[in-house]
Structure 1
Amino acid sequence: MKKSLITISILSAFVIGSLAGISFSKAEFERSTQEHNVMSTNWFQTSAENKALQIQIYNQAKEELAETMVKKKANDKLNNNAKPAAVVLDIDETVLDNSPDTAWSIKNNTSYPQGWDEWIRLAKAELIPGAKDFLLSAQKMNVDIFYLTNRPEKTRNDTIRNMKLHDLPNVDNKHLYFKTDTAQKGPRQAEISKTHDIVMLIGDNSNDLSDIFYKADLKTRKENVDKIAKDLGIKYIQLPNPMYGDWEDAIYQYKPSKTEDEKAADRYKTLQPMK
């Protein structure tokens, strides 16, 4: 979600014709700053593949959760201090589909956070396919559900209103954690862990799963996947989101002050061509 017309100024900083082995033209840098997001948003909104992936992931998560709960119940019988089980989920692009906001940004050539507050106030986000079925199944397994989002506190009422329109379980102040003084989710997960045994974390951003990904560079982010690999699909459930996320921020070295031209150049430089 980054916009405002890309100017020709980038051409003064980079030679037309080749950037990290990728050829590009002057016209490419005169498009909307959201041009790079058109196909990813199309894929997210229209592809059968995305819907299939989302349902598949939640179906598998439901099966894994059922197996986890069988093991937990057996272990809890031997543990007088056992805590109730909890699933912790992100909200955006994990439970709620905000792609219409991204599409609006593309067509209006605006930058985040322009339009974002208005979108939340509309409270009209649809559900990610498979999410509700999973959540209702978790509820039947007597698993507490916590929603941990980096939406600001001021959006609490509208967020709850949107989620209640879909009759989702555990949508109340006790089970919704909003952004505090940091986007890091570890501290809020730790708060939940004081009273619950978190058996599953679900999100579209690797930061939703573990703080080892927080502010990590591109190379480290990929290496850190190996650290949780044995628990992927079991404790850690990763959903797809090609539209935005910390993977994109890592491309810009987590420098939001970069100009749109500089971000465009970073995107080209990060590409890994065949030769």
Structure 2
Amino acid sequence: MSLRLPAALLALGLLAGCATAPRQPAATLPAAMPAAAAVPATVAANDNLNAVAWSQTAIEHDLIYLQTFRDAQAQLLTALHDRHWDALGKGDRTTPLAGLKPAVILDVDETVLDNSPFAARGVRGGSEYNEAEWAAWCREERARALPGAVEFTRFAAKHGIAVIYISNRAKDLDQATLANLRKAGLPVSGPQAFLGLGTVVDGCEQAGSEKGCRRQLVARHYRVLMQFGDQIGDFVDVLANTADGRRKAVADYLPWVGTRWFVLPNPTYGSWEPALFNNDWSLSPGQRRQQKLDALRAE
């Protein structure tokens, strides 16, 4: 209050002065004030602006990550000592648990590595995602670790729990990704700890970018204590990428959320988006945007 009082008194004095000051003769006023020059829009508005800005600047974003990894760490040793504990869905658990070594599975992008600078470039440039620019960003090896990820993964490794990363980055990005993980301080035991898109799994037919075959590969050697990701497909294969299909994919596993499955927020991209326009990327940006608007609930 004491900082505002002088300003208030000054304002009163100015008002009083204005009340007694003579008015300027009308003849000296311009006939019309010139209109303010319009600022040209050099870049079209990008619907991803708020999502990327939140991811980069909101403290709430960082707190969610810290909370998630800390909650997981607090439960990890309990899971380790429970020989019946397993975080793989029934379709992925193809090998009996007895005698298997413990592991945790983590997605990479927006789970342990922060790619928001790449998204920010797209917002600033008004461009949509394309593979060439994404690959170039990955090869920069500059993505930082997300809050809590390093502490959790190091804690797991310290207690003899294998840390395995399953990512849909293209196969030719394997070495850049491994280097980036190490630079960010995340434990990487070797190339076998990273299963990228294109990993061949004997006896399992890869379905698009689904991770089921790679989870089954992990299941042959490990009892999986926990899974982490920002997409449903990081935990279980999604048979129909529609709003209803996505709900059905996780319906049987809701009790696992927060104990065996740890889901992280990603408002910038993901399979949730094409589910809103029937997965039809041939639609124009305007058509896709309209279908997303139509999906909003106003009551």
Class of the TM-score when normalised by the shorter of the 2 chains: 0.7 to 0.9
Task: Pick closer, same or farther for the CA change 1:214–1:201 going to 2, 3 Å.
Answer: farther
1:64 corresponds in structure 2 to: 75
Match of 2:227 in 1: 201
- Where does structure 1 differ by over 2 angstroms across 4 or more consecutive aligned residues? 30-34, 213-216, 222-226
State the Cα RMSD in Å. 2.3
* 214-223 or 157-166, larger mean C-alpha shift: 214-223
Same amino acid, percent of matched pairs: 26
Q: Displacement, 1:220?
A: 2.5
C-alpha offsets along residues 52-86 of structure 1, whole Å, 9 cap, x if unaligned? 00000000011121210122399xxxx99410011
Are residues 128 and 203 of structure 1, via their aligned partners in 2, closer, same or farther at CA, if it must alter by over 3 Å?
same
TM-score (norm 1): 0.82
Q: How does 1:248-267 map to 2 (within 5 A)?
A: 248-267=273-292
Structure 1 residues 107 and 174 mapped into 2: Cα distance closer, same or farther (>3 Å)?
same
SS at match of 1:159: helix
Deviations 1:188-235 (A, max 9, x none): 100111111112111011110111x35421123134433211111111
Which residue of the partner structure matches residue 295 of structure 2? 270
Secondary structure at 1:273 match in 2: coil
User: Any stretches of 5+ residues in structure 2 without a counterpart?
Assistant: 1-40, 86-95, 199-205
Output the CA distance in 1 between the equivalents of 2:241 and 2:220: 27
The separation in 2 between residues aligned to 1:173 and 1:238, in whole angstroms, is 25
1:116 and 2:142 correspond: no
- For structure 1, the 5+ residue unaligned runs are 1-29
- Indicate yes or no: 2:218 matched with 1:177: no
Q: Which residue of 2 aligns with 1:225?
A: 250
- The number of residue pairs the alignment matches comes to 241
- Structure with larger RCO (C-alpha < 8 A, sep 6+): 1
Q: 1:139 aligns with which of 157, 160, 168?
A: 157
Larger radius of gyration: 2
Does residue 210 of structure 1 match 2:236? Answer: yes
| Contact 2:230/2:266 (<8 A) preserved | yes
Match of 1:103 among 110, 120, 124: 120
- Once residues 126 and 54 of structure 2 are traced to their aligned partners in structure 1, the CA distance between those partners, rounded to angstroms, is 19
Q: Which amino acid aligns with 2:117?
A: P
SS state of the match for residue 165, structure 2?
strand
